[in-house]
Amino acid sequence: MKALVAVKRVIDYNVKVRVKADNSDVDLANTKMSINPFCEIAVEEAVRLKEAGVVSEIVVVSIGDKSCQEQMRYAMALGADRGIQVEAEGKLNSLDVARILAKVNESENAEILLLGKQAIDSDNNQTGQMLAALLDVPQATFASEVKIADGKAQVTREVDGGLVTVEMDLPAVITTDLRLNEPRFAALPKIMQAKRKPLDVKTLADLGVELTNSVELISVETPAERSGGIKVDSVDALIDKLRNEAQVI
Amino acid sequence: MKTLIIAEHDSQSLKGATLSAVTAATKLGAPVDVLVVGSSVAAAAAQAASVAGVDRVLTVEDSALEHSLAEFVAPIAKQLAGDYTHVILGASTFGKDLAPRVAALCGVNQLSEVIEVIDAETFKRPIYAGNAIATVKSSDALKVMTVRGTAFAAAETGGSAAVEAASVTVPAAKVRFVGAEVSESDRPELESADIVVSGGRGVGSKEDFAKVFELADKLGAAVGASRAAVDSGFVPNDMQVGQTGKMVAPKLYIAVGISGAIQHLAGMKESGTIVAINKDEEAPIFNIADYGLVGDLHDILPELVSKV
């Protein structure tokens, strides 16, 4: 069976973002970009399913300008078989991304659609659920364990208060949580091989998708800074501050 | 203008996130309806009817809806959505799972983790792990959103809304509930506790985490953890505070053996007073802590327990 994995190029998770002086957006010029950590977990899961003999082909999809090919090559170095880049400029909202992925899947017909649970830039946590809705298939969000057998997926999900396990008919959309797996490192020979794997570029016109852009970004501000605190030198001093100054205990 | 809230409940009572969603909804100044879907909804619907600011409670009761799976609830919400301009859910795992599916079925975008209502179309929400606050304006005819519980107080009681069964078709779905594993805890709920004591990698082991629990119990606090503590197996993952875990904003947050990575700070920096206990005086957590104590937590925690 085929797995379709969506990956997003985002600012590296260790970088502390700066808001632009004109408050139009965050400043991404000259910052390190990487594959979104949850997408990396999705690629790893697909590769493990392939190694287990469940999946026969892994197609990685990314939407953006040419620079996102870097993250697609990385996914191929981890084990994805081929890539589809959908050429698009600027920031896309989740609904448009889901619509594009649904269109891509019209010709791919993957049984397993793997996405990260959220991208660490927009923090939306929407695309997988929207894709499942558009395809009218089941969804398993925040997955921490995935078992595929007999054309069904049994997925354990991380929810508030514990874990929930659901069983779904395939095709289905699965979004990955942190605990699903520990992604492997891309070895140098694999990085070299990944350069020769097929990568198709499609345009929105090819797919017949028009962007909706119904959510407009008005401004971006730096959150209120906390004023610097003090260091105390003993437990007694700490308790005194908490009781008498902050009055919280 | 009219708002629909999709309630999260456990058949007995509404979850805190839903009460926060009511408060956010009342800021729009329009009538607020609450939809309660499940296999047994009487108790939760009665509670929803008693919440101040709620005009009407709609119920959908069916055995297929026992576990409130998004595949069942989203098509029900879609059938009702035509009467509304806003659909609001709490930003819990329930809301995050369901809201985007509702939005996509209705052909609109969704706004996540709203922290401020500016007007009926304009909202503020954090992006980049809370390191930037975006003001966004939606031109969709229907605004579907989740709201962050820590940004809106829980709605009070004092209402007397009418309860009526909604006329909808319960859909079929290709998903089955298999089982749940619930973390048992007698302590206050993490997201609504007044005091939270959190431990990180510095706590050292699962056994040593007992010291964190001891301090929490002495203070009547909930217990949280950093990702490092969860990954090391000290505590279960539903205790994780941060960008990918829970968002908390208690009156007092005590971070023990937590360095203060960006992703952790995203989940707790709105707390009233922050205390950091760490042996590394260069740890970034001290940059945001109101009170810092440099030293070995294994000595400090027992002393704190004996003196507070």
Quick check: A249 pLDDT over 90?
no
A98-152 tens-digit pLDDT: 999 999 999 999 999 999 999 999 999 999 999 999 999 999 999 999 999 999 9
| Secondary structure (3-state) at A220 | strand
Quick check: A165 pLDDT over 90?
yes
Confidence (pLDDT) at A90: 87
How is residue A35 annotated by DSSP?
E
Quick check: A44 pLDDT over 90?
yes
Confidence (pLDDT) at A225: 84
Confidence (pLDDT) at A227: 78
Confidence (pLDDT) at B154: 93
Q: How far apart are CA A116 and CA A46, in angstroms?
A: 12
A60-102 tens-digit pLDDT: 999 999 999 999 999 999 999 999 999 999 889 999 999 999 9
Quick check: B20 pLDDT over 80?
yes
Instruction: List chain B residues with CB under 8 Å of A141.
Output: 70, 93, 96-97
Q: How far apart are CA B3 and CA B23, in angstroms?
A: 12
Does A165 contact B at CB distance below 8 Å? Answer: yes
Instruction: List chain A residues with CB under 8 Å of B281.
Output: 231
Question: In this structure, are residues A112 and A172 in contact, taking their beta carbons and an 8 Å threshold?
Answer: yes
Quick check: A213 pLDDT over 90?
no
Residue B39 to chain A, least CA–CA distance (Å): 17
Residue A231 to chain B, least CA–CA distance (Å): 4
Chain length of chain A: 249
Does A22 contact B at CB distance below 8 Å? Answer: no
Percentage of chain B surpassing pLDDT 70? 100
Percentage of chain A surpassing pLDDT 90? 95
Confidence (pLDDT) at A121: 96
Average pLDDT of B221-248?
A: 95
Residue A190 to chain B, least CA–CA distance (Å): 28
E strands present in chain B: 3-6, 32-38, 56-61, 86-90, 110-114, 116-117, 122-127, 132-138, 143-147, 162-165, 175-182, 195-199, 222-225, 252-256, 273-278, 291-294
Average pLDDT of B294-307?
A: 97
B102-117 tens-digit pLDDT: 999 999 999 999 999 9
Q: Considering CB atoms only, which of A219, A231, A235 is closest to B303? A: A235
Q: Considering CB atoms only, which of B127, B273, B289 is closest to A123? A: B127
Q: Considering CB atoms only, which of A164, A179, A230 is closest to B180? A: A164
Average pLDDT of B1-17?
A: 96
Predicted TM-score (pTM) of the model is: 0.95
How is residue A228 annotated by DSSP?
P
Question: Using 50, 70 and 90 to split pLDDT, how confident is the model at A172?
Answer: very high
The answer to whether A129 contacts B70, with C-beta atoms less than 8 Å apart, is: yes
Sheet holding A230-232, edge to edge: A230-232, B291-294, B273-278, B252-256, B195-199, B222-225
Residue A210 to chain B, least CA–CA distance (Å): 13
Does A129 contact B at CB distance below 8 Å? Answer: yes
Q: Mutating which of B9, B10, B67, B71 best tests the A interface, going by the most A Cβ atoms within 10 A?
A: B71
Q: Considering CB atoms only, which of A13, A98, A121 is closest to B127? A: A121
Residue in chain A nearest B111 by alpha carbon: A124
B75-98 tens-digit pLDDT: 999 999 999 999 999 999 999 999
Confidence (pLDDT) at A185: 95
Average pLDDT of the residues of chain B? 96
Question: In this structure, are residues B23 and B16 in contact, taking their beta carbons and an 8 Å threshold?
Answer: no
Confidence (pLDDT) at B184: 82
Percentage of chain B surpassing pLDDT 90? 97
Quick check: A228 pLDDT over 80?
no
- For the record, the structure tokens of A103 come out as 């269109």
Q: Dihedral of the CA atoms B95, B100, B103, B105 (nearest 10)?
A: -110
Q: Mutating which of B73, B290, B298, B304 best tests the A interface, going by the most A Cβ atoms within 10 A?
A: B290
Q: How far apart are CA A51 and CA A168, in angstroms?
A: 22
Question: In this structure, are residues B181 and B239 in contact, taking their beta carbons and an 8 Å threshold?
Answer: no
Quick check: B72 pLDDT over 80?
yes
Confidence (pLDDT) at A7: 98
Confidence (pLDDT) at B185: 83
Q: How far apart are CA A20 and CA A204, in angstroms?
A: 30
Quick check: B22 pLDDT over 80?
yes
Confidence (pLDDT) at A137: 98
B190-205 tens-digit pLDDT: 998 999 999 999 999 9
- Classify strands A152-159 and A162-169 as parallel, antiparallel or unpaired: antiparallel
The answer to whether A168 contacts B101, with C-beta atoms less than 8 Å apart, is: no
Residue B17 to chain A, least CA–CA distance (Å): 11
Confidence (pLDDT) at B56: 98
